[in-house]
C-alpha cells in the first residue's frame, strides 16, 4: 500500500461490505486527489454505488478505514457527510416540488430570525440570490423547484453541495437525463469547481464523457478494486479489458436443445426508453439480452408484457399480430414475465407460497365460482417441489423465505401457467450461488419443453453461458447480435460484448 | 428480538386482562354496597334472575337509560337522577339502579334496554334519543310487563304504551319565546328561526309553538330562508345568524332558537356586530345563557326544569312499581328567566 | 429486517408445537384468546353475563356492527377504507320508509334500498379505482352526499313505521329463541368467508391489498377487484340498514353517525392489517364479538360509558401492536 500521501483528500483502504451472503465489496481501495475529477468505472454490480454509499454514510463498512483531509472519517448518514464536506448528487433526483430554490439550497440549515425560532425568508432569499449569481443562473430564488428542468434541478443540487462547503462532490450518472447542451453546461460547472479545488467523483457509463472531463479513473469488477490510472494515455479497449475479468465457468450447465418455430416476433417496437426494436425468439431458444441498466432492455420487456404502453411497432405471437393492453392479456396469450423487482412486482410478501403461486392461474382452476382448493394445493405443491422451493410448508408466508427461494416461488407461478414465452428479467439477482445454478438448470429444462425464453441479465458470464443468442442494447437500440457458436468458439469475448454495451459500433473491434 | 416479541405479546394480554379486570373491581364496589345496606336481603345471581320473572315489590331495580352523558342539559338531568336514585337506594325504597348511556343513538338505547332487562331491572326510566326510533323500547317493555317512565321528550307511542310521561310541553316553550319577542318589539318585524335536529320532538313542538303565535301576527314575518337547522349546535347557529344579518340587515329583528346554547351564542355574535337590539331567545336554561341573563348580555331564556322532570319521573316510576296508581302524564312548567328571577334559578 | 431461513427456527418447541406453528397459531387465534379471557372474566364478575338471555342479547347487539364490519373487512383488505357506511345506513332507512309508504311491499322496499346502497358502493369504487383518488377522501365526501340524499328523500323528518311484519325482521326470533338479525349475521359471515377465502375474487382482494404491482403483474384486474370491495361494503350496509330500520321501526335520515368507527375497530381488532392484504373472516367475527363484550360487559358491571370509549381505543392500539409484533412488520 502507498504511503499516506498529502495529495489525497480522501483515501479509502481495505473496505469490505457484505449483504446477507453476498460479498458486495472485497478489500477495496480508492484515492481521490484534491481538485481532480475522478471517474469510477465498472459493470452493473461492480461495487461503485456501494462504495459511494459507504462514503456518504448510507452503509457502514464491515472492514476498512477512510481518511478524509488527513483525519479518520466515518459519516453517519448523508446529512452528516455533507456537514463534514462530502456531498452526493443522486442519479434520480427527488426534490421537494413545493420548495423554492432558496429553500432547497438552505434545506436543514435555514436562516432564522435572531434569537427566534422563525424562518427569515428575506435573508434566505438574499443569500440564495448571491449564490445563484455566482453560478451564473438567472433565476429568482423564489421559483419553485417543480418549475425547473431536470438540468436546473441538478444544478441546484450541485450548488447546494458547494454552498455547504463540500470539498468532494459525488455525481452518479449526472448526464443520464441531460441533453448535449445541458451536459456541456454541467462540464463547464465541473471545471469551475475543479479550479476552486473541489474534487469530483464521477460515475458514468459513457466512455466519451469520462475521457472528456475526468483526470483519473478507478476500475472495479465484481466488488473488487482492479486499478487506478490517469486517463491520459489509456485507451477505451484497455479500460474495458480491466472491467471484464469474470470467467465463464461451467456453473452454467447449458443443455443444448432443438430450436423450433418462431414464437414471438417484435417489429419496430418503440416505447419509453427504446426505439425501433425488432427481434424474434423461437421455441426452445434462450435469448439473452445484455446491456447497461437504463439501456432500454427491461423497458422493452415491460411493454411486451403489457406493464407499460407501446408508442409504436408490432408484436406477433405464433405469426399473428396481437394487442397487449395489460399483463392480463399477455398472460392469457401465453406471455409471462419474471420482473427484476421481485419485492415490488413479484410477490405478495405477506401471503402464503400457495396463494402466490396460484394467483395468476386461478381462472383455470375453479370449480363453479369457487377455487378448487384441493387441486390448487396439489398443483402448487407439485410445482414447488419440481422447482425445489425450500420452505417449512407451502402455507409459509413469502417474506419468510430466502431471496433464492422467493425467486423460485415467482418462477413457480409462471411455470404453472405453462407459458409459450417466458421473460426473465435479472432472474438470479440477489440469489445465492447454489440457487443460481438451479435456476439456470430450470431455464434449460423449460426451453427443452419448447418454451421460448428471453433472459435479461447484467452478468456477462451468465448471459454467455446460458443463451443461444444474445442481443446487446445500447441507449435504447440493439447494438449487436451474437450467436452461441461465436461464444463457444471464443470468436466473441466478454470484452466485445461490454464494448458494444458501452456503445462501440458494429465491426469497430 | 424473538424474546422481545414474546414479551410484548405477554404484556398485551396482561393489559387486556387488567382492563377487563378493572371493570371487575368497580363492579364489586357497586354491587357490594347494596349487600351492606340490605344485609337481610339475599343478593346473588339467582335472585337477580328470579326478580325478572316475578318482581317483588321491595326489590325495585331501576334501569335509567340516559339520552347521553355529554351535553350540558343532560348532564344536569343525569346528576339530578343519580342523586335522587342514590337517596332512594340509601333509604331502601329501591334495591339498586343502573345508569346506561344511550350515546344519542336509538339503536344503542334499544340494545341497552336488553342489557337492563338482563340485569334484572324491573323499572325503566327512559330519556329517548329519538321520537320514532325509540318506540320499540316501549313495545318491548309492554311485552315484558316492565313499567316504563318516559322523561323529557316523548316517543311516538308514549301516549299508548308508557306507564307515565313526565316532561314539559314544548309547544308551550315555543309560544313563550314567541310571546316574549312580541312583547319586546311591539312594532313587529322580521325574525329567523334556528332549529334543533330535525325530527326531534322538542324541535317539532317548539317550532309548532312559535308558529302558533307568530303566524297569526300580521306584524311579524319569518324572513325568507331564515328557518334552518343548526342541529342544536352553537357554532352552526352563529354561522346562519351572521349570514342572515349580512343578507337582511335592519330587517332582522329577532332570532328564535330551539335551545339556548344556540340563542346565547347568536346573541353574543349579534352584540359583537353592534346589533344588540336583535332579540335572541332559546329554551333550556343552561348555565352559560343564564349567566348571560344575569350579566344583562341576554334578555331572557326559557328555563326547562329538567331536574324536576327527572326527579318526578323517578318518583312516579317507583310509585307505579309499588303498585300505586299514577297519572299518565305530568307536565313540569317552563319558566321565563329574565334578570328579575335569574338568581333564583342559577345555582 | 433479516430474512430467516424458515426451517432453521423449528428446533425450539413450545406447548408441544414448533416455533412456526406457535407463531401461526398466535397470529390466527391470539385475538380469540383475548376474547375468551374477556368472556371468562366477565362471567366470573357478573352473574347476569352468564345467562342465556344475555348471550343472545350480545349477539343481537353485535349483529348490526357485525354485518358492517364484514363489509368493511373486504375494503380494508383491498387496501382501502369506507367512511360512508354510516350515511348508507340512513339512506337505507329513509328509502325503506318511502317505499313502504308508497307500495307497502316489504320485499320491494328491501330490494330497492339494498340496490341503492350497492350502487353507491360502486360509485365509491369507481371514484377510487378508476380515478385513483384516495379512499379516505372519496368516502369522506360521498358520505356527505349520501347523508344529504337521505335528508332530501325524507324531507328531513323521521317517520314511524307501523308495518308489523317489517318489524319482525329486527324483533322476531327463530323458534322463539334466536333473533333473526343474529341469523342474518351468521349467513353474511358464512358468505363473506366463502367469498374472501374460497373464490378467485377473494384472492385478488388479498393480492391487490398486499401488493398492487404484483397483482397487476399477475394479471389481476385491479379496477374490478377494488370496486368489488366497495360494492360488497355497500351491499352489507343495505342489509344492516334494513335490520336497523326494523329494530327502531322508524325511517330516520339522521341515524348511523359514527358507525364506521366500530366497524373499522372490529376489523382491526380482528387482525386486519391497515396496510392491506392481511385479514381473516373468523378474526373479524372475533373482533366484532370483542366490541360487543366491551359494551355489554361494561354496562353489566356498571362502568360508565367514558371508560368504554377509552377501552375500545386501547384495545385497537393493542390489536395493531399485536399485529405488528406477530407479523414482524416495521
Report the distance separating Cα B68 and Cα A28, nearest Å: 72
pLDDT in tens, A334-378: 999 998 888 888 899 889 999 999 999 998 888 888 998 899 999
Do A159 and A188 belong to one domain? yes
Query: Nearest by CB to C207, which of A326, A331, A348?
Result: A348
Contacts of range A426-431, beta carbons closer than 8 Å, 24 or more positions apart: A426/A340, A426/A456, A426/A457, A426/A458, A427/A338, A427/A455, A427/A457, A428/A457, A428/A459, A428/A462, A429/A340, A429/A342, A429/A458, A430/A22, A430/A342, A430/A403, A431/A403, A431/A404, A431/A407
Do A379 and A444 belong to one domain? no
What average pLDDT does this structure show over B141-161? 92
Task: Please list every residue in chain C whose beta carbon sits closer than 8 Å to the beta carbon of residue B78.
Answer: none
Start-to-end CA distance of chain B, whole Å, equals 60
pLDDT at residue number C52: 83
A48 band by pLDDT with thresholds 50, 70 and 90: confident
Question: Chain B closest CA to C253's CA: distance in Å?
Answer: 9
Report the distance separating Cα C104 and Cα C166, nearest Å: 10
Give the strand pairing for A286-290 and A452-456.
parallel
Question: Chain C closest CA to A344's CA: distance in Å?
Answer: 6
B255 band by pLDDT with thresholds 50, 70 and 90: very high
pLDDT in tens, A179-196: 777 788 888 889 988 998
Inspect the interface and report whether the beta carbons of B69 and C160 lie closer than 8 Å. no
Whether A401 shows a pLDDT value over 90: the answer reads: no
Whole-angstrom CA distances from B246 to A113, B220, B243, B323 are 42, 20, 5, 60
A370 assigned to some structural domain: yes
Whether B12 shows a pLDDT value over 60: the answer reads: no
pLDDT at residue number A508: 42
Whether C234 shows a pLDDT value over 50: the answer reads: yes
C24 band by pLDDT with thresholds 50, 70 and 90: low
Do A166 and A85 belong to one domain? yes
Sole residue written with cell 421481485: A342
User: H or E stretch including A275?
Assistant: strand A274-282
Do A269 and A356 belong to one domain? no
A134 touches chain C (CB under 8 A): no
What average pLDDT does this structure show over B42-55? 40
Burial class (CB in 10 A: 0-12, 13-18, 19+), B347: exposed
pLDDT at residue number A247: 54
Do A409 and A269 belong to one domain? no
Query: Nearest by CB to C200, which of A307, A330, A363?
Result: A363
B30 band by pLDDT with thresholds 50, 70 and 90: very low
Helices (H), chain C: 19-45, 52-77, 85-102, 106-125, 135-154, 164-171, 180-198, 200-210, 212-217, 222-248, 259-269, 281-300, 305-327
pLDDT at residue number C7: 40
Question: Chain C closest CA to A383's CA: distance in Å?
Answer: 17
Do A178 and A308 belong to one domain? no
Report the distance separating Cα A496 and Cα B187, nearest Å: 104
Interface test with C, best of B28, B106, B258 (most C CBs within 10 A): B106
Inspect the interface and report whether the beta carbons of A359 and C203 lie closer than 8 Å. yes
pLDDT at residue number B198: 82
* Domain CATH number, residue A429: 3.40.50.300
pLDDT at residue number B235: 87
Task: Please list every residue in chain A whose beta carbon sits closer than 8 Å to the beta carbon of residue C214.
Answer: 344-348, 359
Do A229 and A269 belong to one domain? no
Chain B: residue whose CA lies nearest to C43: B24
pLDDT in tens, B119-150: 999 999 999 998 888 999 999 999 999 999 99
Chain C: residue whose CA lies nearest to B140: C171
The answer to whether chain A touches chain B by having 3 or more C-beta pairs less than 8 angstroms apart is: no
Region(s) of chain B under CATH 3.40.50.2300 = 59-166+307-331, 170-303
Q: Coil, helix or strand for B338? A: coil
A9 touches chain C (CB under 8 A): no
Do A233 and A284 belong to one domain? no
A349 touches chain C (CB under 8 A): yes
Q: Please name which of A447, B45, A346, B199 lies closest in space to residue C93, comparing C-alpha atoms.
A: B199
Whether C268 shows a pLDDT value over 80: the answer reads: yes
* Strands, E assignment, A34-152: 37-41, 63-68, 71-73, 86-89
Report the distance separating Cα C142 and Cα B233, nearest Å: 23
Interface test with C, best of A305, A343, A350 (most C CBs within 10 A): A350
Inspect the interface and report whether the beta carbons of C214 and A347 lie closer than 8 Å. yes
Report the distance separating Cα C206 and Cα C192, nearest Å: 14
Question: Chain B closest CA to C295's CA: distance in Å?
Answer: 9
Inspect the interface and report whether the beta carbons of B114 and C60 lie closer than 8 Å. yes
Per CATH, the number for B170-303 is 3.40.50.2300
A506 band by pLDDT with thresholds 50, 70 and 90: low
Better-predicted residue by pLDDT, A270 or A99 = A270
- B to C CB pairs, distance under 8 Å: 167
Question: Chain B closest CA to C100's CA: distance in Å?
Answer: 16
Start-to-end CA distance of chain C, whole Å, equals 8
Inspect the interface and report whether the beta carbons of C305 and B103 lie closer than 8 Å. yes
Better-predicted residue by pLDDT, A300 or A89 = A300
Minimum mean pLDDT range among A219-228, B336-345, C17-26: C17-26
Whole-angstrom CA distances from B105 to B65, B307, C200 are 11, 22, 39
Please report the residues numbered 102 through 121 in chain B whose beta carbons come closer than 8 angstroms to any beta carbon of chain C: 103, 105-107, 110-112, 114-115, 117-120
Inspect the interface and report whether the beta carbons of B112 and C53 lie closer than 8 Å. no
Do A494 and A425 belong to one domain? yes
CATH 3.40.50.720 holds for B59-166+307-331: no
Inspect the interface and report whether the beta carbons of C211 and A344 lie closer than 8 Å. yes
Count: domains in chain A: 3
DSSP state of C256: -
What average pLDDT does this structure show over A210-223? 90
Count Cα atoms within 13 angstroms, Cβ side, for A31. 15
C105 touches chain A (CB under 8 A): no
Q: Please name which of A269, A261, A323 lies closest in space to residue A301, comparing C-alpha atoms.
A: A269
Do A266 and A218 belong to one domain? no
Query: Nearest by CB to C219, which of A344, A360, A402?
Result: A360
A113 assigned to some structural domain: no
The x, y and z cell numbers of residue A55, run together, are 462514503
Angle formed at CA C243 by CA C239 and CA C244, multiple of 5 degrees: 110
Q: Which of A269-278, A478-487, C115-124 has the highest mean pLDDT?
A: C115-124
Q: Whole domain around residue A314: which residue ranges? A: 259-334+419-504
ipTM score for this prediction: 0.84
pLDDT at residue number A42: 83
A165 band by pLDDT with thresholds 50, 70 and 90: confident
Report the distance separating Cα C104 and Cα A432, nearest Å: 71
Question: Chain C closest CA to B292's CA: distance in Å?
Answer: 30
Q: Taken in order B91, B94, B98, B100, is the CA torsion positive or negative?
A: negative
- The whole-chain average pLDDT of chain A stands at 85
Whether C28 shows a pLDDT value over 70: the answer reads: no
Report the distance separating Cα C51 and Cα B16, nearest Å: 23
A192 assigned to some structural domain: yes
Whether A303 shows a pLDDT value over 80: the answer reads: yes
Whether B21 shows a pLDDT value over 60: the answer reads: no
Q: Coil, helix or strand for A348? A: coil
pLDDT in tens, A104-148: 888 777 777 777 777 778 888 888 888 888 777 788 888 888 888
Give C116's contacts (C-beta < 8 A, 6+ positions apart): C91, C92, C95, C238
Task: Please list every residue in chain B whose beta carbon sits closer than 8 Å to the beta carbon of residue C167.
Answer: 136
Whether C26 shows a pLDDT value over 80: the answer reads: no
Q: Which of A457-461, C14-18, C148-152 has the highest mean pLDDT?
A: C148-152
B47 band by pLDDT with thresholds 50, 70 and 90: very low
B45 band by pLDDT with thresholds 50, 70 and 90: very low
Chain B: residue whose CA lies nearest to C22: B6
The answer to whether chain C touches chain A by having 3 or more C-beta pairs less than 8 angstroms apart is: yes
A497 touches chain C (CB under 8 A): no
| Domain endpoint, select from A417, A436, A460 | A417
Which subunits have 3 or more CB–CB pairs within 8 Å of chain C?
Answer: A, B
A2 assigned to some structural domain: no
Q: Please name which of A208, A486, B107 lies closest in space to residue C255, comparing C-alpha atoms.
A: B107
Report the distance separating Cα A466 and Cα B131, nearest Å: 80
Query: Nearest by CB to C157, which of B12, B103, B198?
Result: B198
Inspect the interface and report whether the beta carbons of A331 and C220 lie closer than 8 Å. no
Helices (H), A60-120: 78-84, 101-105
Task: Please list every residue in chain A whose beta carbon sits closer than 8 Å to the beta carbon of residue C10.
Answer: 392
Report the distance separating Cα A50 and Cα A223, nearest Å: 9
Task: Please list every residue in chain C whose beta carbon sits closer than 8 Å to the beta carbon of residue A305.
Answer: 217
B335 touches chain C (CB under 8 A): no
A374 touches chain C (CB under 8 A): no
The x, y and z cell numbers of residue A478, run together, are 440493439
Minimum mean pLDDT range among A179-183, A258-262, B86-90, C137-141: A179-183
Better-predicted residue by pLDDT, B336 or A496 = B336
What average pLDDT does this structure show over A461-468? 87
What average pLDDT does this structure show over A97-104? 84
B194 band by pLDDT with thresholds 50, 70 and 90: very high
Chain C: residue whose CA lies nearest to B19: C311
Do A202 and A299 belong to one domain? no
- The whole-chain average pLDDT of chain B stands at 83
Report the distance separating Cα A374 and Cα A366, nearest Å: 11
| Cβ atoms within 10 Å of A431's Cβ, excluding its own | 23
Amino acid at each position: 500500500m502507498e504511503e499516506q500521501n498529502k495529495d489525497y483528500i480522501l483515501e479509502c483502504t481495505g473496505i469490505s461490505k457484505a449483504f446477507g451472503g453476498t460479498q458486495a465489496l472485497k478489500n477495496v481501495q480508492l484515492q481521490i486527489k484534491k481538485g481532480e475529477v475522478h471517474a469510477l468505472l465498472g459493470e452493473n454490480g461492480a461495487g461503485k454505488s456501494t462504495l459511494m454509499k459507504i462514503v456518504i454514510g448510507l452503509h457502514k463498512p464491515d472492514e476498512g478505514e477512510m481518511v478524509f483531509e488527513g483525519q479518520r472519517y466515518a459519516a453517519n448518514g448523508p446529512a452528516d457527510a455533507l456537514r463534514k464536506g462530502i456531498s452526493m448528487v443522486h442519479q434520480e433526483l427527488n426534490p421537494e416540488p413545493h420548495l423554492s430554490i432558496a429553500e432547497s439550497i438552505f434545506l436543514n440549515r435555514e436562516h432564522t430570525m435572531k434569537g427566534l425560532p422563525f424562518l427569515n425568508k428575506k435573508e434566505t432569499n438574499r443569500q440564495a440570490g448571491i449564490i445563484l449569481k455566482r453560478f451564473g443562473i438567472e433565476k429568482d430564488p423564489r421559483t419553485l423547484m417543480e418549475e425547473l428542468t431536470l438540468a436546473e434541478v441538478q444544478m441546484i443540487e450541485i450548488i447546494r453541495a458547494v454552498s455547504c462547503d463540500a470539498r468532494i462532490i459525488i455525481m452518479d450518472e449526472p448526464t443520464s437525463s441531460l441533453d448535449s447542451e445541458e451536459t456541456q453546461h454541467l462540464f463547464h460547472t465541473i471545471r469551475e469547481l475543479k479550479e476552486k479545488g473541489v474534487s469530483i467523483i464521477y460515475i458514468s457509463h459513457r466512455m466519451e464523457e469520462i475521457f472528456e472531463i475526468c483526470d483519473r479513473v478507478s476500475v472495479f469488477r465484481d466488488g473488487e478494486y482492479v486499478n487506478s490510472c490517469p486517463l491520459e494515455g489509456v485507451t477505451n479497449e484497455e479500460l474495458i479489458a480491466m472491467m471484464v475479468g469474470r470467467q465463464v465457468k461451467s456453473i452454467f450447465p447449458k443443455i443444448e436443445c432443438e430450436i423450433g418455430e418462431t414464437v414471438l416476433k417484435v417489429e419496430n417496437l418503440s416505447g419509453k426508453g427504446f426505439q425501433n426494436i425488432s427481434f424474434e425468439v423461437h421455441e426452445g431458444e434462450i435469448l439473452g439480452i445484455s446491456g447497461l441498466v437504463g439501456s432500454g432492455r427491461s423497458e422493452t420487456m415491460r411493454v411486451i408484457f403489457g406493464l407499460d404502453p407501446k408508442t409504436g411497432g408490432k408484436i406477433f405471437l405464433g405469426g399473428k399480430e396481437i394487442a397487449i393492453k395489460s399483463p392480463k392479456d399477455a398472460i392469457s396469450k401465453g406471455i409471462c414475465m419474471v420482473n427484476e423487482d421481485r419485492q415490488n412486482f413479484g410477490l405478495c410478501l405477506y401471503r402464503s407460497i400457495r396463494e402466490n403461486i396460484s394467483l395468476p392461474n386461478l381462472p383455470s382452476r375453479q370449480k363453479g365460482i369457487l377455487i378448487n382448493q384441493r387441486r390448487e394445493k396439489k398443483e402448487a405443491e407439485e410445482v414447488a417441489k419440481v422447482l425445489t422451493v425450500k420452505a417449512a410448508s407451502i402455507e409459509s408466508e413469502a417474506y419468510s423465505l430466502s431471496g433464492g427461494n422467493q425467486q423460485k416461488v415467482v418462477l413457480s407461478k409462471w411455470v404453472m401457467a405453462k407459458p409459450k414465452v417466458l421473460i426473465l428479467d435479472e432472474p438470479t439477482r440477489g440469489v445465492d450461488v447454489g440457487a443460481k445454478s438451479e435456476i439456470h438448470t430450470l431455464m434449460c429444462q423449460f426451453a427443452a419443453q419448447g418454451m421460448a425464453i428471453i433472459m435479461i441479465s447484467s452478468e456477462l458470464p451468465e448471459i454467455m453461458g446460458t443463451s443461444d443468442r444474445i442481443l446487446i442494447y445500447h441507449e435504447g437500440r440493439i447494438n449487436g447480435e451474437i450467436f452461441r457458436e461465436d461464444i463457444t468458439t471464443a470468436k466473441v469475448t466478454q470484452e466485445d460484448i461490454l464494448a458494444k454495451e458501452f456503445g462501440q459500433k458494429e465491426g469497430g473491434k | 428480538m424473538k424474546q422481545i416479541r414474546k414479551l410484548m405479546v405477554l404484556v398485551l394480554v396482561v393489559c387486556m386482562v387488567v382492563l377487563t379486570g378493572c371493570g371487575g373491581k368497580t363492579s364489586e364496589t357497586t354491587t357490594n354496597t347494596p349487600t351492606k345496606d340490605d344485609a337481610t336481603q339475599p343478593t346473588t345471581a339467582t335472585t337477580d334472575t328470579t326478580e325478572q320473572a316475578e318482581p317483588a315489590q321491595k326489590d325495585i331495580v331501576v334501569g335509567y337509560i340516559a339520552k347521553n352523558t355529554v351535553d350540558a342539559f343532560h348532564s344536569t338531568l343525569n346528576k339530578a337522577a343519580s342523586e335522587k336514585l342514590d337517596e332512594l337506594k340509601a333509604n331502601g325504597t329501591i334495591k339498586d339502579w343502573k345508569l346506561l348511556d344511550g350515546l344519542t343513538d336509538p339503536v344503542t338505547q334499544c340494545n341497552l334496554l336488553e342489557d337492563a332487562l338482563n340485569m334484572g331491572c324491573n323499572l325503566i326510566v327512559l330519556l329517548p334519543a329519538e321520537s320514532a326510533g325509540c318506540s320499540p323500547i316501549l313495545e318491548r317493555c309492554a311485552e315484558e310487563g316492565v313499567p316504563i317512565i318516559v322523561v323529557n321528550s316523548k316517543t311516538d307511542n308514549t301516549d299508548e304504551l308508557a306507564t307515565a310521561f313526565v316532561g314539559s310541553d314544548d309547544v308551550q316553550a315555543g309560544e313563550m319565546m314567541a310571546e316574549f319577542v312580541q312583547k319586546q318589539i311591539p312594532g313587529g318585524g322580521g325574525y329567523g328561526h334556528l332549529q334543533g335536529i330535525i325530527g326531534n320532538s322538542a324541535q317539532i313542538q317548539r317550532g309548532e309553538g312559535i308558529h302558533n303565535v307568530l303566524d297569526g301576527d300580521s306584524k311579524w314575518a319569518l324572513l325568507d330562508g331564515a328557518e334552518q337547522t343548526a342541529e342544536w349546535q352553537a357554532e352552526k347557529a352563529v354561522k346562519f345568524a351572521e349570514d342572515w344579518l349580512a343578507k337582511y340587515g335592519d330587517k332582522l329583528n329577532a332570532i328564535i332558537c330551539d335551545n339556548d346554547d344556540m340563542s346565547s351564542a347568536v346573541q353574543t355574535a349579534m352584540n359583537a356586530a353592534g346589533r344588540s337590539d336583535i332579540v335572541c331567545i332559546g329554551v333550556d336554561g343552561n348555565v352559560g345563557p343564564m349567566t348571560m341573563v344575569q350579566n344583562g348580555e341576554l334578555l331572557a331564556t326559557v328555563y326547562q326544569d329538567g331536574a324536576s322532570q327527572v326527579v318526578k319521573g323517578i318518583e312516579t316510576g317507583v310509585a307505579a312499581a309499588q303498585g300505586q296508581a299514577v297519572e299518565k302524564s305530568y307536565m313540569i312548567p317552563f319558566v321565563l328567566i329574565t334578570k328579575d328571577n335569574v338568581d333564583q334559578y342559577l345555582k | 429486517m433479516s430474512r430467516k431461513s424458515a426451517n432453521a427456527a423449528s428446533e425450539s418447541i413450545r406447548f408441544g408445537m414448533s416455533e412456526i406453528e406457535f407463531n401461526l397459531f398466535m397470529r390466527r387465534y391470539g385475538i380469540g384468546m383475548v376474547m375468551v379471557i374477556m368472556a371468562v372474566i366477565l362471567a366470573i364478575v357478573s352473574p347476569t353475563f352468564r345467562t342465556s338471555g344475555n348471550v343472545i342479547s350480545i349477539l343481537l347487539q353485535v349483529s348490526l356492527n357485525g354485518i358492517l364490519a364484514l363489509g368493511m373487512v373486504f375494503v380494508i383488505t383491498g387496501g382501502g377504507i369506507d367512511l360512508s357506511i354510516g350515511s348508507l345506513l340512513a339512506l337505507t332507512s329513509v328509502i325503506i320508509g318511502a317505499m313502504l309508504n308508497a307500495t307497502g311491499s316489504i320485499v320491494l322496499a328491501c330490494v330497492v334500498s339494498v340496490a341503492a346502497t350497492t350502487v353507491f358502493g360502486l360509485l365509491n369504487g369507481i371514484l377510487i379505482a378508476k380515478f385513483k383518488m384516495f379512499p379516505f377522501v372519496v368516502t369522506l365526501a360521498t358520505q356527505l352526499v349520501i347523508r344529504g340524499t337521505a335528508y332530501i328523500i325524507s324531507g328531513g323528518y323521521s317517520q314511524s313505521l307501523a308495518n308489523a311484519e317489517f318489524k319482525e325482521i329486527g324483533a322476531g326470533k327463530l323458534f322463539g329463541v334466536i333473533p333473526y338479525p343474529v341469523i342474518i349475521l351468521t349467513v353474511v359471515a358464512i358468505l363473506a368467508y366463502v367469498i374472501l377465502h374460497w373464490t378467485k375474487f377473494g384472492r385478488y382482494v388479498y393480492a391487490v391489498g398486499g401488493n398492487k404491482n404484483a397483482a397487476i403483474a399477475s394479471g389481476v384486474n385491479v379496477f374490478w377487484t377494488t370496486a368489488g370491495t366497495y360494492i360488497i361494503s355497500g351491499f352489507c350496509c343495505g342489509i344492516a340498514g334494513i335490520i336497523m330500520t326494523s329494530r327502531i321501526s322508524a325511517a330516520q335520515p339522521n341515524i348511523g353517525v359514527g358507525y364506521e368507527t366500530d366497524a373499522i375497530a372490529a376489523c382491526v381488532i380482528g387482525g386486519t392489517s391497515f396496510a392491506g392484504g392481511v385479514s381473516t373472516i373468523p378474526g373479524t367475527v372475533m373482533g366484532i364479538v370483542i366490541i360487543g363484550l366491551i359494551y355489554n360487559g361494561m354496562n353489566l358491571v356498571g362502568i360508565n360509558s367514558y371508560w368504554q370509549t377509552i377501552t375500545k381505543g386501547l384495545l385497537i392500539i393493542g390489536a395493531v401492536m399485536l399485529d405488528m409484533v406477530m407479523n414482524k412488520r416495521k
